[in-house]
Each structure stands twice: as structure tokens, then as C-alpha cells.
Amino acid sequence: MPSKKDNQNLIKRSPGTDNSMDVLVRSIYEVALDPGHIREVLGDIRTHLGASAFSMFNLDGSSGHPAVTTDGLSDSWLNDYETHWWQHDVWVQSAHQQNLITGGTTVIGAQLIERRDLIKTPWHNEGLAPNNIGDVLCTSLWQEGVPSPRMALSFYRPLESVDFGDQERQLLGRLAPHLTQALKFAETLDLFHQNKAINDALMNNTPHAVFLLSKDKRILFMNPVAEASLQQGSIQVGLKNERLLTVGLDSAPSLDEAFQWVDRGLMAPMVFIAGHGPLGPRMGSAKLLPISDRAGASLHHAFPHYLLIVDTQPPHDERALHLFGSLFKLTPAEQRILQEILEDKSPSNIAETLGTTLPTVRTHIQRILQKTGVRRITDLVHRVSQIRLSL
């Protein structure tokens, strides 16, 4: 915990000369080219404001929970805020009540609530005081009516230091539009590069069906393979008003669950029932990925778009069959029959396709089952699938 002398040193720092302002503004716009430096730049601003810590809140989360980036505060404070205190933050509540939660607004703690009232609240006594937070200076990093990340940037001073004043509020107020513009530039620049990369990937004759989805699962774009798969019915999906509702006849996880996984920062692999054949359900696989811009990655910005990649390759390729046959010492004839089985053909269909008799096919199937140590054809298909998924 900082000493009284440390606290006084914090507030003796000048809010900045014109020259230092120019340096700050220049470094702010460099964030547009390299958002990874945002924490360093905010640290410089913290120094000029004589603050002991800062936090940046992303207000765009669909769950209602703010995503928070901090410096100078403990991990436990961050966890407590995200899980509890964000609902009991008196400063935020006062800002809402006074209609101060608008783009471009910069306020100090004294404008939100008088100190004699603040120190009576659980927010102060249980949330702020144990973490040596005494006052706040906050600005809203977005422009009203302009699409941009909705970020709230807060700086803090310790309990025994002098509160923020109008001088610091004006300084942060002058810097805030530059920060807002830099974040918007970063989002635009990176979205341009992402769009180019996405388009290159989608149009590069990929064998997979690729869907570009919005946060509400609306299909924004699909590649030619996806279009053809939908027209031919080889991919069963549920659609309503251009929104993707389901993948396959059934899937694990569901599409809604996959979105929840991705929003928690996880990749979401999916398996689904593509249809039903003579030998049981035909399985398919897919994965849902976030498309996040670099600025968002640095600031925990909510993912604006998603890629759903559906594997449209035959479920059992030649390499997997060859490895499976070598592993269990299948003869060439048995491998040919296994390949037909994996294409959902019945024994009579296999006999007709290969120009042999039904008893011969059944004999081969029994030998394959014996060699592989399974009793049912569905178990056999599952074993081949396991090999393919491991490749």
C-alpha cells in the first residue's frame, strides 16, 4: 500500500505542459496501429493525472457483465468487481441517475456523489477502502450516434490523497476524444485487414462450408461450398429470417451453447447428425470461431463476428481407411467392403456395387468385425471415425 508521502507525490505531478500533451496525443494515435500498447499509453496518462490505478470497462458485453482491464489494482479486486460490485458501484449508479453515462462525458467523483454520502455505502467500505481507492475520474470513450466500442475509462487515487479536481477533469476531457478516435481507427483498420484475410480464405477453394455470422447468428456471407451444400441438402441447417438456428438434425453442443463457449474465449468444436442412412446416423463435424479485432483482443472487446466452418469432406478419407486396414490387417477385399459400409450402403447394395454375392459380402463383414474386435457395424464406423479425427 502506498505511503502518505507516495500519495502526496502522486498529486504533486503537473497535469502536463503543452509539449507533454503533444507527446501523449501522438502516443494515443500510435495505438491505432498497435493496440497492444494501450496499457502502456494509459499508464502514461495515469502518471500525468497523478492517479494510482486505472480500469477500462467494455460496456458491450451481451451478458451485461462488464469486461474490465486494470492496472495498479489487484486481481482479486478485478474478480470481485466482475462478479459482484459492478451491480453495486455507487459511482456508476449515480452517473445513470444524473444522465452522465453518455459518450464524451468526463466526471470526477465529487460530481457523482458527495464524499460524506460515499463513505456510508458498502461500495466504499467493502469494495473501495480495502483496495485503497478513494476517488475516481472517469470518461466515456465513445461518440453518441457513431458506431464504436463503448468503453469507460476510470482513474483512481488512494484514500489519503487529495481528490481529483477540475484541472485533471479538463485534461482527461481533452484526451478522451483522441482515445475514442484512436480506438475507432484501430477497429476500422483491423476490420479491413480481417475482411481481406477472410475473403481470401473463403474464396481460396476451401473444401469446407464456411458461414460468416453476426452476433445474433444472422448469415452475413457464405462461401460457394456452403451455398452448394445448402442447395443440395448435404448440410441440414435450421434457418429463420436469415438467422442460423441449428446445425444438423441434432448437435453437441447446440449452436447456442457453442456461441456461449466462444464468448468465454473458447473454441467450440461441434459434432452433429447430418442425416440417417441404412446403417444408422451419418455424423458431421464443425467448429465455431470468433473473429475479434486486435483492439478488441487487447481490451476484452466483445466479438462482433463469428466463423462457422463445417467439414464437408467425406467422413472417412483414404488415409484413415489405409491406416485402419493396416492396423487390423484387413485384406484389400475387406477394405473395399469397409469403404462401402462407411458410405452407408447396405450389404445388398454393396454386393450389387462390387458385383459379388450377398453371402460373400456378409462373410467379409463378419471377418472385419472379428479382426477389429467389435460386434456391431455402428461400433466399426465409430472406430474409423476415431482414427480420422486423430489425423
**Residue with cell string 456461441:** 259
> pLDDT-derived band of residue 205, with 50, 70 and 90 as boundaries?
low
- Residue at 201: amino acid letter: A
In this predicted model, which residue has the larger pLDDT, 284 or 147? 284
b/e map 246-267, b = 16+ CB within 10 Å? bbbbebebebeebbebbbeeee
Instruction: Pick the closest to residue 345 from 282, 281, 277, 283 (CA basis).
Output: 277
In this predicted model, which residue has the larger pLDDT, 187 or 39? 39
Mean pLDDT calculated for residue range 229-243? 83
Would you say 132 and 1 are in contact if contact means Cβ atoms under 8 Å apart? yes
Query: In whole angstroms, what is the distance from residue 247 CA to residue 234 CA?
Result: 12
In this predicted model, which residue has the larger pLDDT, 28 or 58? 28
Q: What pLDDT digit, counting tens, does each position of 41-56 carry?
A: 899 999 999 999 999 8
Q: Which pTM does this prediction carry?
A: 0.50
Of 25-34, 167-176, 285-294, least confident by mean pLDDT is 285-294
Would you say 271 and 251 are in contact if contact means Cβ atoms under 8 Å apart? yes
Query: In whole angstroms, what is the distance from residue 314 CA to residue 146 CA?
Result: 46
In this predicted model, which residue has the larger pLDDT, 178 or 315? 178
Of 29-33, 88-92, 241-245, 261-265, least confident by mean pLDDT is 29-33
Domain ranges of the chain: 4-189, 203-310, 318-390
Peptide bond into 253 cis (omega under 30): yes
Query: In whole angstroms, what is the distance from residue 309 CA to residue 121 CA?
Result: 50
Partners of 55 in the β-ladder = 70, 154
What is 318-390's CATH number, 3.40.710.10, 3.90.1150.10, 1.10.10.10, 2.40.10.340?
1.10.10.10
Using a pLDDT cut of 70, give the percent of the chain over it: 76
Q: What pLDDT digit, counting tens, does each position of 310-355 carry?
A: 876 555 566 667 777 877 888 888 988 988 887 778 888 899 888 8
CATH superfamily of 4-189: GAF domain (3.30.450.40)
User: What are phi and psi for residue 240, nearest 5 degrees?
Assistant: -150, 120
Q: What pLDDT digit, counting tens, does each position of 149-159 carry?
A: 678 899 999 99
Same fold, 4-189 and 203-310: yes
Would you say 89 and 186 are in contact if contact means Cβ atoms under 8 Å apart? no
CATH superfamily of 203-310: PAS domain (3.30.450.20)
pLDDT at position 275 is 73
